[in-house]
Amino acid sequence: MNKQVKIIGNGQLAHIFKNLVIDDVVIFASGVSNSNCTDIQEFNKEEKLLRDALHKYKEKKFVYFSSSALSAKKYFQNDYYKHKKRMEEIIKEESDNYYIFRIPQLFGELKRHNTLINFLYYAILEDREFNIYSEAYRYVIDIDDVRYLVEQFIENSPPCITINLANPYRYSILELVNVFESILNKKANYKLIDKYDGYFLDLNDLISFIKKHNMTLSFSKNYFNEKIQTKLLNMQKKLDLDND
């Protein structure tokens, strides 16, 4: 008889795996999520929680979420990325049954989470001024597709893997802003700063896996636009129901 997975964490990434039913799996979706964090106490708190979980669930498949930026050798590694790298190393030392998923900019419900996508949405919606780099680029992925991919990898791939999960198209921040401007029918109030910030991901392993297992994903240049429009439509339907 199948058992529900053990989920560690209570944020949006943890919530998406609620009701997932797979034998002997632990989803570690807790700890530091803000890439600008420099708080050593927060880093240490996650490390302790991680070590405790690895010890307690040593016989289970162990899922951890890291950052795609670690796959870019020349990308600046701040304290947060160094911390994530250390967490990966601990997992590889302590477990022989792990799945490390490196994810880029994640988006789900457009709530006031501390993410780039949510920041852009609410800044434009509320006419707030913000700065963006003229040559800044990011990969993105919908949180629902993260769940789908994680489930497929656990069921169809042997453990001890580290892999990036991302839509292969690399967006400029200006493109993301333009999508929200079009959907909201509002002009964003931003200042352009002449600076480059970005990296490239090798997603060949992910693409091969998707093809091999005939997975249905809408990865494309239009991926972000289509997904965000769907989410906003669902938000409006929910709001209408709540107001009835």
Q: Domain of 172: which CATH number? A: 3.40.50.720
| Beta pairing class for 98-103 and 161-164 | parallel
Give the whole-angstrom CA distance, residue 29 versus residue 121.
24
- Model confidence at 2: pLDDT above 70: no
Residue 226 is assigned to a structural domain of this protein: yes
Give the whole-angstrom CA distance, residue 88 versus residue 113.
24
Mean pLDDT, rounded, for 146-169: 96
pLDDT in tens, 107-129: 988 887 778 999 999 999 999 99
Residue 1 is assigned to a structural domain of this protein: no
Rounded to whole angstroms, the maximal C-alpha distance in the chain is 57
Residue 15 is assigned to a structural domain of this protein: yes
Nearest Cα neighbor of 3 from 24, 17, 18 is 24
Q: Please give the structure tokens belonging to residue 28.
A: 């570690």
Helix (H) or strand (E) holding 193: strand 190-197
- Model confidence at 30: pLDDT above 60: yes
Comparison of pLDDT for 77 and 166, the residue scoring more:
166
Task: Name residues whose C-beta falls within 8 Å of residue 25's C-beta, 6 or more positions apart in sequence.
Answer: 5, 6, 60, 61, 63, 154
- Model confidence at 25: pLDDT above 60: yes
User: How far from 115 is each of 34, 35, 140, 196, CA to CA, in Å?
Assistant: 8, 9, 11, 20
Q: What is the pLDDT of residue 243?
A: 63
- Model confidence at 1: pLDDT above 60: no
pTM: 0.93
Residue 72 is assigned to a structural domain of this protein: yes
Number of domains present in the structure of the chain: 1
Domain that holds residue 196: 6-243
Mean pLDDT, rounded, for 192-211: 96
